[in-house]
Amino acid sequence: MNTINWTKFEDCLHGVMKDKHIPGAAVAVSQNGKVIYQKGFGVRDVETREPVTPETIFGIASVTKSFTALAILKLEEEGKLSVEDPVIRYIPEFKMQGVEDMSEIKIYHLMSHTTGLPPMNRREELNDLKHHLEYVANEDYELLGKPSQYFSYCNDTFLLLGEIIERLTGRLYRRFVTETILNPLQMYRSTLSLEEVAKYDNVSVPYIYNSDSSTYEKQQWPTLGNYEVGGGVRSNVLDLLKYGQAYVGEGPIVSKERVKKMWSHLHQIRRNAYYGYALQVTPDYSGVTLVEHGGGQPGVSSNFGFVPEKGIVVSVLTNVSGVPAADIWLAAMNTALGIPLEQKRSVEPFYNLTSDELQLLVGSYDSAEGGYVKISLEDGAPVAEAAGEKLKLRASSTNTLVVEETGLPIQFFLRDNEKAWAVLFGSRMLRRKN
């Protein structure tokens, strides 16, 4: 593995950084616990021009979710819970609007974003997990469906895993994760504490790139409140390689058999993409399993994952929002696997939709969290408008359009040949606006 030529990957990364306005990035790769590649690119601070190194601390955003899921599996291994248990066994006051029998919602539904709750308005001012229980119980929303029926990213139910951890251990969520995951794996430059981030050296500055003014706008680290359960870890690519050993090594946190549940209990989210416990899975990728998770916050785009059969772990961190860290990650993984750099997770087929079929998909879709996409036709061809960008689309089935530039599928949900009532855009289901 040490003979891998990383030049082509680095050329590709420099091109992506220039094209997508990424000030700084770090990439690291290990196999069977040995670091085989580590490098920083660009700058961690656009004003001082201090360079990124593999030790540079970034936000990892939703890569944090797998830490939480791993903590839950540790409690399961200790016999304190089962992921098949109803959430109300540990949080008796847990309520969701429109659910008559709350015992139907199991712990694994929280871990896999399959409770049926739609994306909710983000309430970062809530700093006590008990307050989030009240928010979820009393907010006005319409469920997407029954538990396990649909996958839709929902931070507001995921973070209730933190409340289960706190009630069972008598410890703060962040303290439990630090003591049972970060410290045993010697992740000494990783933390859930913003106060600690301020004391470290070699920390990235988070940015949003303003395309109108062609400038980088410096961001404050978000305080997150309860959302730290799904996005609060700040780390570096080398520490994340140590973390990867919890999955591909000899199970220093939980046993190999149990940790495998995280990428075995799967809910299909796209043609060849599945979601497990806080991890996304591509099951047959050139004969191996790709397991990964990305993250995004103001000033953060991240991706982490591994191939269990080969013991390969890859981590990618950047200091700007909304850039394709997952594409960089895949190019690094392809290089480590010795397959073509450009290979995609899967390729959607081509399909010709009739104009009547297209009309069923046209419309605007949104969520209380702020997600929005508008599907319209230009010269008879579908386009999507989202986040100030216009994206050309093509069809791959009667209910799927594909972003031409990225190959990302957009799945629509239809009933009885009526207009689509919802769309899975990225990882969130958005409802049709009336």
C-alpha separations of 108 from 112, 158, 172, 349, 377 in Å: 6, 10, 21, 32, 40
Range of the domain at 87: 1-346
C-alpha separations of 193 from 62, 173, 175, 256, 315 in Å: 16, 12, 10, 29, 21
On whether both 277 and 393 belong to a single domain, the answer is: no
pLDDT in tens, 393-431: 999 999 999 999 989 999 999 998 899 999 999 999 999
Q: Which of 300, 315, 346 is the last residue of a domain?
A: 346
On whether both 374 and 327 belong to a single domain, the answer is: no
Which letter does DSSP use for residue 286 in this model? T
Specify the higher pLDDT residue, 338 or 406.
338
Both tokens of 307, joined, read 């191939």
Burial group, residue 376, by CB count within 10 angstroms (0-12, 13-18, 19+): middle
On whether both 76 and 97 belong to a single domain, the answer is: yes
Burial group, residue 342, by CB count within 10 angstroms (0-12, 13-18, 19+): exposed
On whether both 366 and 265 belong to a single domain, the answer is: no
pLDDT in tens, 13-28: 999 999 999 999 999 9
pLDDT higher than threshold 80 for residue 2? no
Average pLDDT, the chain: 96
Cβ contact 226:131 at 8 Å: yes
On whether both 295 and 414 belong to a single domain, the answer is: no
Cβ contact 109:149 at 8 Å: no
Q: Could you give the 3-state DSSP secondary structure of residue 29?
A: strand
Q: Which of 321, 346, 371 is the last residue of a domain?
A: 346
On whether both 76 and 158 belong to a single domain, the answer is: yes
What is the model's pLDDT at position 251?
A: 72
On whether both 257 and 373 belong to a single domain, the answer is: no
Q: Number of structural domains, the chain?
A: 2
Query: Which parts of 265-354 fold into alpha helices (H)?
Result: 325-337
Backbone dihedral angles phi then psi of residue 432, each to the nearest 5 degrees: -60, 135
Question: Residues 223-239: what's their mean pLDDT?
Answer: 97
On whether both 24 and 51 belong to a single domain, the answer is: yes
* Cβ partners under 8 Å of residue 351, min gap 6: 395, 396, 397, 398, 400
pLDDT in tens, 10-67: 999 999 999 999 999 999 999 999 999 999 999 999 999 999 999 999 999 999 999 9
For 65, what's the count of Cα atoms within 13 Å in the CB-facing half-sphere? Answer: 33
Question: Residues 171-190: what's their mean pLDDT?
Answer: 97
What is the model's pLDDT at position 1?
A: 43
Q: How far apart are CA 426 and CA 424, in angstroms?
A: 6
On whether both 64 and 127 belong to a single domain, the answer is: yes
**Residues pairing with 119 in the sheet:** none
pTM, full prediction: 0.96
pLDDT in tens, 242-274: 999 999 998 789 999 999 999 998 899 998 999
pLDDT in tens, 79-127: 999 999 999 999 999 999 999 999 999 999 999 999 999 999 999 999 9
Q: Which of 300, 324, 346 is the last residue of a domain?
A: 346
C-alpha separations of 247 from 179, 263, 273 in Å: 18, 10, 19
Cβ contact 110:71 at 8 Å: no
On whether both 241 and 185 belong to a single domain, the answer is: yes
pLDDT higher than threshold 80 for residue 319? yes
pLDDT in tens, 81-90: 999 999 999 9
On whether both 341 and 359 belong to a single domain, the answer is: no
Phi-psi region of 113 (alpha: psi -120 to 50; beta: other; left: phi over 0): left
On whether both 283 and 371 belong to a single domain, the answer is: no
Question: Residues 175-180: what's their mean pLDDT?
Answer: 98
State the CATH number of the domain containing residue 177. 3.40.710.10
C-alpha separations of 91 from 110, 165, 173 in Å: 13, 11, 15
pLDDT-above-70 percentage for the chain: 100
